[in-house]
Each structure stands twice: as structure tokens, then as C-alpha cells.
């Protein structure tokens, strides 16, 4: 007994050391993320972005404003709804506007306008998407007056000289040719042809030469005057500017627009998610490019957040998504694979996209289908949901790092009808999503399988097996 007792004590003694050792080992050598954050010097810092709704005196022009006075800069983003490429009454208007709108305006020649902008640090951007015509203006506060002069000249008195239009048409042709050097171009055309068909969404982003040639200066001017109205305008302002001044700027810059824009209605687009797959061979590519399209979800739909989180877990979050783990990390079949939702005026989509060598692409498609079955049948787990929510909550403040980014976000909040209190509400909306909501939404709103003709459309650009491009050099 004594002996036994001794052994027992010895065992107890030893195990204590082991336990103690394990404790010390954990303390010094294991990595405890939560403990690091709990003890962090920097924890508990919060931030509240304050969005003000502002209006011009006449009450016709509205904007969201976020003041930020720590740097002497101002960023303004604004866009006209239903003034994008899909709404054009003449194909090619949008791209020509984008290419030539800064080639001289009002009293400024092309050369003088560019020089003034560069010298005073005034940046103007023009962009045209399928749905919208968008602008951005960024300036140093010291040169506010000059910046306003410049943007007014561009909006109301752009030159569109024939010389500039001719050059732009040639340069757009070059860009169109260069696009054709990339397999993703052929993927886009495949979708245009087989998914969008005759709908304006199926038009090539750069119209053909004949179309570009038929767009004249008068067409552009008449079009712009018609589609830039106060009623289809959304404005976001951020930076070193107070409410009073911002309201004056609204009046001064946008006061000259027509009250009601005369925009076309977009033809209704009826998506077919059950038609067969489509493919095209590309001789110069060693990789295949793959795209899947399925029905998406509207931004204001009650299931938006549950579905957004489901997608985040499945393929939206990047390195740790289920798709990336299964196809890239575990099998090494691709450099990257993503899924995401997109919204436009005419259609809301859910998409999956990746590229891989032809053999790997086929394997990857099978894995994607299997992974999707697992999602559809078993849903996501409690732990996955909690991690996704934490990721979305924790990354929220990153959107406030740049004034340009804030102004753009404020504009998009209006385009998407999210409301001025969106930033307050968003965190709670994410926080309150339940496991049941996510898994029910997957069952009710997503395709039963990702097999083609069953709610999912697949598009393939087929690369060539064992293709080796060799640059044959000729000296001369």
C-alpha cells in the first residue's frame, strides 16, 4: 500500500507537471488569437460615420454628405441612372462620351483643360456602365473654385471636336482588338450571345466601327442634355467641406441640369436559366475559362443578407471559402475560384468563375457541383455562419479609409435605395442573420443542383491541351 501510495503520489506529481507544462507550453508556444485581441492595447476603438442628407435650396437636388476635415481634400461621386450603354438610342454613345468628354470644354481647349487639372490637382473621372453614366471629381480645397469651374464646363459645354472624336474612334478600335487577345473576351461574347441574346445587355462594350462612325457630335450633345437630369442623379460627397458649402456646391454644379431626364425604358430581360451550356474553342490559350450563371437576389430582398452570407461561405470570401479550399488548396487545380452576386437594372445573378488548364477545368467543374450539393443538402454550419458574420462585421470600417471610396459608397447607397441610415443598420442586419434563415434561403432561392439546364447555365472557353506558346524571335 505504501508503495502503491508512493507510486500514486508520484503519478499525481508527474501528471501535475505535465499539466502545468502543458499550461506553460500553451501560454508561450501556442497561438491564441482571442487572447491577443482581448489583451490588445488597441481594443475598443470605435467609429461612427455620420451621413447627412443634404439638398439644394430649390429642393430638387439631393446628396449624401460625410464630413471629414483632417485632410484638405474633397471627393464627389455622382451618377445618372438609366443613362448607361444599355439605354442608348444609338449604340456607341456611352463609350465615345467616356473617351472624349475631357477633350476640351467651355473656354478651355483640350490642352488647357488637362493642364489646369494637372496643375491644380483636380481629378475628373468619367465612366459608363451598362446602367449608368458616372462621374467623379476630387480636388484640393484650396482650388475649390477652379474645380467647380472645370466640372461645370465639362458637364455643360463639352466640345466633342471632330478631331478628338476621330482619334477616339481609332483608339477604341485598338482597345477592342486588344481585348480579343484575352480568353475572357470570348467568354463575355459567349454569354452575350447565348444568355442576353438580342437584349441591349448583350451588346459588345465597345460598339463596332460603323456604329462609332455614325455617332456624331450633335447626337452626343443632344443625348447628354436629355439623360443628365436632376431626377436621375445620385451624389455622394466626402471630405473637407461643411454642410452649408456642400449645399451651395449642389446648386452651383447641378442647378443647370434639366429637372426631368428623358431616358428610355430598358427592354425587359427574361433570363433563361434552363437552356443548355455553350462553349467556344480558343486556339491561343493554354487554359480554359469557366463561368456559371444562376438566378441572383435583389439588393432589398429580405433574403439578401442570408444569401449573401451563404455565398460568402461557399465561394465569396476568398482564401477560406469552401470552393477555394476544395479546388485550389486541396487539389491545386486553379489559381483562384470565386462566386458572387451581381445586380443590375434588368437582372440579378449569382455567378461562379475560374480558369484552369483544360483537364483541370473539367475536374474542377465536378468538384464545384459536388460542393454545391453539400451546400444545398446540408446548408452551412453554425461555426461557418459565426465566422462569416465576424468577418463581415470586422471588415466594415475598411470602407472608410479613403475619401474617394466614401463618396462612391454614398452614391451607391442611393442607387441601391439603401437609405441614409444604412451604415447604422448594416452591422445589425449582419449580426441578426440566423442559421435557419441562411439554410432556408439556400433551399428556397438557390438552384437544386448546378447541373446544366437545371437552374444553372455553364459557359466554357476551351483552351488547348498541352499548348505551349513559343515566341519565335527574328532578328533584323
Partner 1 sequence: MVALLLPFSAVAKLLDVSYFTLDNGLEVAVIENHKAPVVLQMLYYKTGSINDPKGKNGIAHLLEHLMFRGTKRVKDQMFSHLTDKYGAENNAYTTYNETGYYEFSDITKLELMMALEADRMQNLVISDEAFLKERDVVLEERMQRFETKAAPLFYETLNKLLWQDSARAQPVSGSAEDIKGLKKEDAEDFYKRWYRPDNALLVLSGDIKPKEAKMLVEKYYGGISVKEKLMVAQNQVLPPRQTDMFIKAKLVGVEQSRFVNYIRIEPNALNNKDVLALEILAEYFAGDDTAFLYDALVYQSKKLLGIDVGIAYDKDTGGVFSFYATPADERAEASDIWKWIERAVEDGIAAFDADKLEKIKHQILSDTVYLQENPQDAARFVGGMLLASYRVEEIENYDEIIRAVEVKDVMDAWHKVLESQVKIKGYLERAEQ
Spatial distance between the Cα atoms of 279 and 187, rounded to a whole number of angstroms: 8
The verdict on 216 binding partner 1 (CB under 8 A) reads no
Minimum distance from residue 186 beta carbon to partner 1 (Å): 11
Give the total of residues touching partner 1 (CB under 8 A).
93
Burial of 225 (0-12, 13-18, 19+ CB in 10 A): middle
8 A C-beta contact, residue 192 and residue 184: no
By beta-carbon proximity to partner 1, the closer residue of 402 and 434 is 402
The verdict on 463 binding partner 1 (CB under 8 A) reads yes
φ, ψ for residue 339, nearest 5 deg: -125, 155
Dihedral-angle region of residue 104 (phi above 0 means left; psi in -120 to 50 means alpha; beta otherwise) = left
The verdict on 290 binding partner 1 (CB under 8 A) reads no
The verdict on 142 binding partner 1 (CB under 8 A) reads yes
Burial of 4 (0-12, 13-18, 19+ CB in 10 A): exposed
Spatial distance between the Cα atoms of 316 and 319, rounded to a whole number of angstroms: 9
Among 391, 412, 416, 420, binds partner 1 (CB under 8 A): 391
The verdict on 2 binding partner 1 (CB under 8 A) reads no
8 A C-beta contact, residue 232 and residue 224: no
Minimum distance from residue 274 beta carbon to partner 1 (Å): 30
Query: What residues from 86 to 125 belong to the interface with partner 1 (CB under 8 A)?
Result: 110-111, 114-115, 118-121, 123
β-sheet bridge partners, residue 338: 353
Furthest-apart CA atoms within the chain: distance in Å: 109
Query: What residues from 402 to 441 belong to the interface with partner 1 (CB under 8 A)?
Result: 402-404
8 A C-beta contact, residue 44 and residue 98: no
The verdict on 208 binding partner 1 (CB under 8 A) reads no
The verdict on 382 binding partner 1 (CB under 8 A) reads no
The verdict on 45 binding partner 1 (CB under 8 A) reads yes
Map residues 309-348 to x or -, x wherever contact with partner 1 holds by CB under 8 A: --------xxxx----x--xxxxxxxx-------------
By beta-carbon proximity to partner 1, the closer residue of 329 and 454 is 329
Q: What is the CA radius of gyration of the chain?
A: 28
Query: What residues from 168 to 187 belong to the interface with partner 1 (CB under 8 A)?
Result: 170-171, 174, 177-178, 180-183
Query: What residues from 22 to 41 belong to the interface with partner 1 (CB under 8 A)?
Result: 29-31, 33, 36-37, 40-41
Amino acid at each position: 500500500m505504501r508503495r502503491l501510495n508512493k507510486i500514486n503520489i508520484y503519478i499525481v506529481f508527474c501528471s501535475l507537471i505535465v499539466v502545468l507544462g502543458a499550461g506553460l507550453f500553451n501560454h508561450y508556444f501556442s497561438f491564441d488569437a482571442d487572447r491577443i485581441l482581448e489583451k490588445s492595447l488597441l481594443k475598443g476603438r470605435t467609429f461612427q460615420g455620420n451621413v447627412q442628407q443634404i439638398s439644394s435650396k430649390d429642393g430638387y437636388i439631393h446628396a449624401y454628405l460625410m464630413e471629414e476635415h483632417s485632410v484638405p481634400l474633397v471627393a464627389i461621386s455622382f451618377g445618372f441612372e438609366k443613362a448607361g450603354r444599355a439605354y442608348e438610342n444609338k449604340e456607341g454613345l456611352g463609350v465615345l462620351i467616356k473617351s472624349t468628354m475631357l477633350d476640351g470644354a467651355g473656354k478651355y481647349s483640350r490642352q488647357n483643360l488637362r493642364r489646369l487639372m494637372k496643375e491644380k490637382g483636380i481629378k475628373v473621372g468619367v465612366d459608363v456602365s451598362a446602367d449608368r453614366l458616372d462621374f467623379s471629381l476630387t480636388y484640393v480645397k484650396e482650388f475649390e473654385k477652379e474645380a467647380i469651374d472645370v466640372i461645370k464646363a465639362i458637364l455643360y459645354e463639352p466640345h466633342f471636336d471632330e478631331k478628338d472624336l476621330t482619334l477616339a474612334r481609332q483608339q477604341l478600335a485598338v482597345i477592342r482588338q486588344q481585348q480579343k487577345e484575352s480568353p475572357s473576351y470570348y467568354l463575355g461574347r459567349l454569354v452575350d450571345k447565348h444568355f442576353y441574346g438580342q437584349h441591349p445587355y448583350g451588346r459588345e462594350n465597345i460598339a463596332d466601327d460603323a456604329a462609332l462612325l455614325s455617332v456624331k457630335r450633335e447626337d452626343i450633345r443632344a443625348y447628354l442634355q436629355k439623360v443628365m437630369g436632376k431626377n436621375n442623379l445620385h451624389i455622394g460627397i466626402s471630405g473637407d467641406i461643411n454642410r452649408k458649402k456642400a449645399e451651395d456646391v449642389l446648386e452651383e454644379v447641378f442647378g443647370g441640369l434639366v429637372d426631368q431626364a428623358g431616358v428610355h425604358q430598358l427592354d425587359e430581360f427574361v433570363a433563361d436559366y434552363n437552356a443548355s451550356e455553350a462553349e467556344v474553342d480558343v486556339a491561343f490559350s493554354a487554359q480554359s475559362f469557366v463561368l456559371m450563371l444562376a438566378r441572383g437576389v435583389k439588393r432589398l430582398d429580405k433574403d439578401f443578407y442570408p444569401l449573401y452570407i451563404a455565398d460568402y461561405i461557399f465561394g465569396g470570401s476568398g482564401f477560406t471559402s469552401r470552393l477555394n479550399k476544395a479546388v485550389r488548396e486541396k487539389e491545386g487545380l486553379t489559381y483562384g475560384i470565386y462566386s458572387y452576386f451581381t445586380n443590375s437594372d434588368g437582372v440579378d445573378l449569382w455567378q461562379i468563375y475560374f480558369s484552369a488548364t483544360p483537364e483541370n477545368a473539367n475536374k474542377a467543374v465536378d468538384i464545384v457541383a459536388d460542393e454545391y450539393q453539400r451546400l444545398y443538402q446540408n446548408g452551412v454550419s453554425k461555426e461557418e455562419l459565426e465566422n462569416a458574420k465576424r468577418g463581415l462585421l470586422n471588415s466594415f470600417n475598411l470602407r472608410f479609409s479613403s475619401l474617394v471610396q466614401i463618396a462612391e459608397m454614398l452614391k451607391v447607397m442611393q442607387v441601391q435605395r439603401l437609405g441614409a441610415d444604412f451604415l447604422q443598420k448594416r452591422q445589425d442586419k449582419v449580426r441578426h442573420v440566423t442559421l435557419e434563415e441562411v439554410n432556408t434561403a439556400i433551399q428556397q432561392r438557390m438552384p437544386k443542383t448546378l447541373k446544366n439546364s437545371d437552374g444553372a447555365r455553364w459557359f466554357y472557353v476551351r483552351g488547348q491541351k498541352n499548348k505551349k506558346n513559343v515566341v519565335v524571335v527574328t532578328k533584323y
